[in-house]
Amino acid sequence: MKSPSLDSFYHIYKKITKLVPAYTEIPELYFIIKACRLKPYGLIFEKNTDKFALHRHWFDEYRSSLKVLKDKKIKIIYNDLSLNKDNISYTDLYCGLSINNIIKISKLIYVCHGKDEDLNQDCVILSMLGIDDYLRTYLYLYGQWQQVSSLLLGFNNLKFIAGNCDIKYFQEIVNKDCKMPCGETKTWLSFLPASKEFMSVMNKQCGVVYSVFNGNNKE
């Protein structure tokens, strides 16, 4: 499926994108829709080009959906099987870069780290906000990295990131609803380039991410 660049897409359909946060009274939704590369289902699959239409169903390039319910609450569906993957195009020009190179073109990093309760292996969700204002998210599980939907962070964490894009240092935060296949987690948000103090914390508490910063990740 051919499509214009995502920047052009959001410019053309700016009114549609802004209507959702206005309707829900959740201002962070504008950031979330763009940062997660979401597109309106009705526009892509039903060809509804009405610039004043309220689109309740948005989807990303990893076949996950964000839906606005009638009570204005948000529902996220991971791996939404109702979506035809043949009609979903990938638009990220940097999708082939290694994670440590993605870090170099990013300005914010979110880390959620835990342990698989059965196998005692590291589980990590790593999400970076690029200098182009798009999130790129990776899951480390069973010793391997894979790029995943940024919606996996969970709506409340995405709202938190939206409200803290200008963070000047780093902080450990409460994991609000990140979908991790493990028990207890620790979560951090930091600006990039990362401070020595943040790198020291990663070295002590999340060696997998520390290795990524040093270019030793296995993808």
- On average, the pLDDT of the chain sits at 89
pLDDT at 3 over 60: no
Percent of the chain with pLDDT over 70: 94
| Dist CA 201 CA 105 (whole Å) | 22
The CB density around residue 1, as the number of other CB atoms within 10 Å, is 9
**Does residue 171 contact residue 189 with C-beta atoms inside 8 Å?**
yes
**Does residue 164 contact residue 158 with C-beta atoms inside 8 Å?**
no
pLDDT score recorded for residue 117: 67
Q: What is the mean pLDDT of residues 62-91?
A: 90
- Find all residues with CB under 8 Å of 158, minimum gap 6, and list them: 28, 32, 35, 36, 150, 151
pLDDT in tens, 144-192: 999 999 999 999 999 999 999 999 999 999 877 777 767 788 999 999 9
pLDDT score recorded for residue 195: 95
pLDDT in tens, 9-62: 888 889 999 999 999 999 999 999 999 999 999 988 888 878 788 999 999 999
pLDDT at 5 over 60: yes
pLDDT score recorded for residue 216: 63
The model's pTM is 0.90
pLDDT score recorded for residue 1: 33
Q: Which two tokens stand for residue 124?
A: 């990590």
pLDDT score recorded for residue 45: 85
What residues does 216 pair with on adjacent strands?
A: none
- Find all residues with CB under 8 Å of 157, minimum gap 6, and list them: 110, 112, 175, 176, 177, 178, 187
Q: What is the mean pLDDT of residues 99-111?
A: 95
pLDDT score recorded for residue 109: 98
Q: How many helices (H) and strands (E) does the chain have?
A: 8, 10
Alpha carbon 127 to chain centroid distance? 6
Q: What is the mean pLDDT of residues 93-116?
A: 91
Of the listed ranges 29-38, 80-89, 122-131, 153-162, the least confidently predicted one is 80-89
Long-range contacts, stretch 114-121, CB < 8 angstroms, 24+ apart = 114/180, 114/182, 114/183, 114/184, 114/185, 114/186, 115/182, 115/183, 115/184, 116/141, 116/181, 116/182, 117/182, 117/183
| Dist CA 106 CA 103 (whole Å) | 5
pLDDT score recorded for residue 88: 83
